[in-house]
Amino acid sequence: MNNLDYDNLSIDELAMAINLDKEERELLDSIENDEWVSISNEKEEIGVLKSMINKFTKSNKKK
């Protein structure tokens, strides 16, 4: 078995080596293209997202 040096593979070679599906490949591409950013306040962001989820689930229960 040939051991791959994953650190030195191109994105295309890596995607093929680990058999990424279309969605996984798009995610990898977006990370490599620096489309992701760090958030400044993790706890605050989690609170905002939880609030949005609660509002969404409450509105769906009314239907």
Q: Look at residue 41 and tell me if it is in a domain.
A: yes
**Predicted TM-score (pTM) of this structure:** 0.51
CA distances from 50 to 17, 22, 44 (A): 37, 29, 10
The verdict on residue 20 lying in a domain is yes
Per-10-residue mean pLDDT of the chain, 63 residues long, equals 79 86 92 92 96 89 68
Q: How many domains does the chain have?
A: 1
Residue 13 lies in a domain: yes
- Which residue range forms the structural domain that includes residue 20? 6-61
In a domain, 48, yes or no: yes
Residue type for position 17: A
Evaluate whether residue 1 is within a structural domain: no
